[in-house]
Amino acid sequence: MNTVVPICSYDGCKVQIDGKCALGHDPVEGCENYATDIEPIEELEESEEPRTVPPVQIWASNKMLLADYSILSRRRRLRTVALVGEEKVGKTTLLCSIYAMFCRGPFADLTFAGSETLLGFAKLQAFAMLSSGRASPTVPRTSRRDPLAFFHLALARSRRDIVDLVIADRSGETYAAARTSTDLIGTLAEFKLADRVCFLLDGGRLASNDDRTAYTRNFRQMINALHDNGALADAAAVEILSTKLDITRGSDPADISFLNDFQARIVSDFAKKGLAISSHEICALPKADRTIGIVGLDDLVRRWTEPEPLPDVAPRPVVDAPRQIDRLMSKVARGA
């Protein structure tokens, strides 16, 4: 709305338009009616409705929470992996090392094609870089106070063949608590989402005579608790990842033999319970013996991203069908 203030009180004077006084005064300022105090006249104009611009959501690219996972799963087919293990077993280290491999270029016959959690990965990797000023590479530990989080990697075999790999990250203290208080297992949402469950076996503790007995008992109890309470029922694959190979390879031969025998017993014992488990060795961030290098990560990434088998669409044979046509089709399906 604009406010117009007239400069002459004489009715009909157009001095404001053409600069000439209606009474003939020259200069116009000599007219007694010129520039008198008059109330301003308000000109009406079309009112504009206030426009509200919706805020633009910027993806933080930090760790994804469960709500973020749900949003991403509605846009893409996700391949989800749950890493299970007690504190200091190396879950976060494994995450950081996988990301670091793709920072260098193609890895495991795959190429980095994007990530929804780049900032989250960068925060993990910062502690393992020379620029951190640390004498030894390390990664920040996941706290029990931290909620369930996910890290995402889009990995491409070709332009049209991209696997969206999502890795769940939860504190080891939470899994330790669920091992003894099985009521907590139903609250661990990652097991309902995971295509693959990986139990991380701490090779460093198995190489220690002091920790070996208690740790092996707890590790077996962890798998038992999750299996008996149905947490592994939806997983397409379950595997054991023996970590800290840089420690175990430098151990006494008897310790190495114990580690191998323990893994074999786990696989055998749970096979009798109907749970198929595979066992693998990895070294994600060598410290004790850096000549070992990175071991097993390429095979691990290949397993986690392997092409999914095509669904079986062959018709199932009908047993004791009441109709003749159904019995005939059943014979055709069996190749009779």
What are 189-231's pLDDT values in tens digits? 999 999 999 999 998 888 888 888 999 999 999 999 999 999 9
Average pLDDT on 61-66 reads 90
Q: Closest Cα partner for 198 from 214, 164, 228, 175? A: 175
- Peptide bond preceding 27 in cis form (omega within 30 of 0): yes
Here the tokens at position 160 are 């049209």
Question: What mean pLDDT is predicted for residues 76-84?
Answer: 95
Task: Grade residue 175 by pLDDT with cuts at 50, 70 and 90.
Answer: very high
Lowest-confidence region among 54-63, 74-83, 104-113, 274-283: 54-63
Question: 86 versus 136: which is more confidently predicted?
Answer: 86
Residue 136 has pLDDT above 70, yes or no: no
* Helix, strand, coil tally for the chain in percent (to 5): 40, 20, 45
Q: How confident is the model at residue 100 (pLDDT cuts 50, 70, 90)?
A: very high
**What's the rounded mean pLDDT across residues 2-14?**
68
Average pLDDT on 120-143 reads 68
Average pLDDT over residues 282-298: 84
> Following DSSP, what letter does each residue of 155-175 receive, concatenated?
EEEETTEEEEEEEEE--HHHH
Q: Give the C-alpha separation, 287 to 245, whole Å.
A: 10
Tokens of 325: 């046509």
pTM of the predicted model as reported, rounded to 2 decimal places: 0.73
259-271: average pLDDT: 92
* Greatest Cα-to-Cα distance within the chain, rounded to the nearest angstrom: 121
In order of their start, the domains of the chain are: 1-50 (no CATH), 66-305 (3.40.50.300)
At 276, the pLDDT band (50, 70, 90 cuts) reads very high
Give percent above pLDDT 90 in the chain.
Answer: 48
Q: Note the pLDDT of residue 45.
A: 55
Phi and psi, residue 3, nearest 5°: -110, 120
Distance set, CA 269 to CA 220, 224, 235, 239 (Å): 10, 11, 19, 14
Query: What does the alpha-carbon distance between residue 100 and residue 294 come to, in Å, rounded to a whole number?
Result: 11
Structure tokens at 315: 């018709």
Mean pLDDT of 44-63: 64
108-120 mean pLDDT: 93
Query: What's the pLDDT score for residue 241?
Result: 95
Task: pLDDT band for 289, please (50, 70, 90 cuts).
Answer: confident
Tally of CA atoms within 13 A in the half-sphere of 79 that contains its CB: 16
Higher pLDDT among residues 323 and 98, named by residue = 98
What are 42's strand-pairing partners? 3
DSSP E strand boundaries for 69-185: 78-84, 111-114, 149-158, 161-169
**Rounded to whole angstroms, how far apart are CA atoms 188 and 149?**
12
